[in-house]
Structure 1
């Protein structure tokens, strides 16, 4: 009996140790930041940029870039993924400036030149501060929120608290807790995870058009995730499928750029369903058939 007691205690000790490691080191698993020196100079071919810093109430600095178009139709606030810095992510701004939109891109705390202790609450607050700065110069009806992977959660949260023209989610997750549970299903993640990022909860309160883009071969965040998310506000949501697209390569597909152009250049129009088959019901009965 003592042998089994020791085995159970050993298993329990290992379980507690793994739980503690997940709690204290999850930041290193979730985020892969690239840090830049304060004097680093950003440069992009054929792109006009302006660098700025936003000071937060707790003393942190959020560094960002504005990519300028010649005659801007509006602004895309681009919330990037969980790796690198805007040094590398900036190359994607051209997908919007070519359509006449300025792009605002920032580094989260601890990324690039941005400083401050990184928590979910702090990042949400930082993104709202940046959004407020944009609102000072641009009416919300001209602001597009674009969230890529990790950034999709923060973009959904911003859209739920504001009134942008539209929300675009690129390879979004249902919640980070759900993603983590896929890999470590035996851990009490509801108690351990510091960045649960419940995108599905925030989408319930979004009132602008929602466009979701996802690749069918995404192995990190499965395509079915976006199918589930699209059902939360179906009356506002359109799902765009990139056949064969993975998690990091959607920009290599012509179909992705066709979808993006359609999204950002079109105006939402109410479809006239009068005279359509929307309420026609199929029946297996032959009540109306002629004898």
Structure 2
């Protein structure tokens, strides 16, 4: 059994960009940190944060003076802060939120090695910084998890009773379920989102492409079905794993969600409009401790049903086009919202990137495969 489980665990891997897409420099005299290879902005703080695992991670905090809410963004498997930087700035601008993004241990200029448990320590360090340095309140924080980032996002969300909201972008049910249609949760599985989603007490928005060939659409759909407090999901027709930001409905639906969250009162007093009008009281003000996945848990039945088997070869990481950072222009988001909102015309939808701040020209914005077998060729 030990040999089998160790073999299974070896199939999971993290893929930080190599070399990192950015560097970090310290200004003489002030000690202020700045990122290289990206435009310097007055409203962006660059930080180094210590984690409970002893690593130092790099984070960015994008300030918006009009913001009442703060988004804590956990990116996907094959990206780092340099590649996500423009998207973070555009989301902060158009959603009118403060936004913190961070690199996992072993990603970008963060020290250490990437692992499931390190990502949990990483997001805790980022959240602690929001509270202690920037004065963010739990009830004003929205956690955003993309792809593999749904793992640390749901782990933290399951332990914060007064969290404002959660966004899951192309999320996974669990690491093992990305590759195999298992019906049980095994102790050696990682990122057990299928179990943790039931513990989340706040509104949850799920975004997933119906043509996702990395993490099957069934993952997002089942997680949404398991939510206690559902918000109208966004199923992007024809959307893949790496291109959802290119569809006009992506930013429109996010803005609608943020607006609904802003209008909602303290979460103990009610819920925001949801698909099935669910109202759920908050039963605790304390963070729930996380059960250690290092322990050999008994295999248990889950609600994982009818997931299509996936060939390991389907999980190969897609190549990322290089980012032309020298040609960026700001264009009004209003133009993007007037664009054709017909998901049946993906080519027109993809052109919306030019109207969404020209964030990452010539690049696939979220080319973030979850897992691929060790030794697989890119």
> Could you tell me the TM-score, scaled by structure 2's length?
0.60
Q: Partners of 2:52 and 2:5 in 1: how far apart? A: 33
Are residue 209 (structure 1) and residue 209 (structure 2) matched? Answer: no
The answer to whether the Cα contact below 8 Å between 2:151 and 2:193 also exists between their aligned partners in 1 is: yes
Can you give the 5+ residue segments of structure 2 that lack an aligned partner in the other structure? 26-34, 265-270, 275-378
Are residue 51 (structure 1) and residue 46 (structure 2) matched? Answer: yes
The answer to whether the Cα contact below 8 Å between 1:214 and 1:240 also exists between their aligned partners in 2 is: yes
RMSD: 2.7
Corresponding residue number in structure 2 for 1:176: 175
Selected match of 2:16 from 32, 41, 47: 32
Compute the displacement of 1:105 (Å).
0.4
Give the structure with the higher percent strand. 1
Are residue 120 (structure 1) and residue 116 (structure 2) matched? Answer: yes
Compute the displacement of 1:256 (Å).
1.0
Compute the displacement of 1:97 (Å).
2.5
Compute the displacement of 1:117 (Å).
3.0
Corresponding residue number in structure 1 for 2:227: 233
Give the aligned length.
248
Corresponding residue number in structure 2 for 1:164: 163
Selected match of 1:197 from 183, 191, 209: 191
- Against the structure 1 CA distance between its residues 270 and 246, is the aligned structure 2 distance closer, same or farther, given a 3 Å change threshold? closer
The SS at the match of 1:212 is: strand
More contact order relative to length (CA 8 Å, sep ≥ 6)? 2
Are residue 243 (structure 1) and residue 237 (structure 2) matched? Answer: yes
Q: Partners of 1:247 and 1:271 in 2: how far apart? A: 27
Aligned 1:235-274 pairs, distance under 5 A: 235-266=229-260, 267-268=263-264
Aligned 1:267-286 pairs, distance under 5 A: 267-268=263-264
The answer to whether the Cα contact below 8 Å between 2:201 and 2:229 also exists between their aligned partners in 1 is: no
Compute the displacement of 1:192 (Å).
5.8
Q: Partners of 1:175 and 1:25 in 2: how far apart? A: 13
Compute the displacement of 1:38 (Å).
4.3
Compute the displacement of 1:122 (Å).
2.2
Compute the displacement of 1:236 (Å).
3.4
Are residue 153 (structure 1) and residue 151 (structure 2) matched? Answer: yes
Q: Partners of 1:247 and 1:60 in 2: how far apart? A: 30
The answer to whether the Cα contact below 8 Å between 1:97 and 1:103 also exists between their aligned partners in 2 is: no
The answer to whether the Cα contact below 8 Å between 2:209 and 2:235 also exists between their aligned partners in 1 is: yes
The answer to whether the Cα contact below 8 Å between 1:214 and 1:241 also exists between their aligned partners in 2 is: yes
> Could you tell me the TM-score, scaled by structure 1's length?
0.76
Q: Partners of 1:249 and 1:177 in 2: how far apart? A: 24
Corresponding residue number in structure 1 for 2:130: 134
Give the structure with the higher percent helix. 1
Are residue 218 (structure 1) and residue 201 (structure 2) matched? Answer: no
Q: Partners of 2:60 and 2:254 in 1: how far apart? A: 21
Larger-gyration structure (1/2): 1
The answer to whether the Cα contact below 8 Å between 1:214 and 1:245 also exists between their aligned partners in 2 is: yes
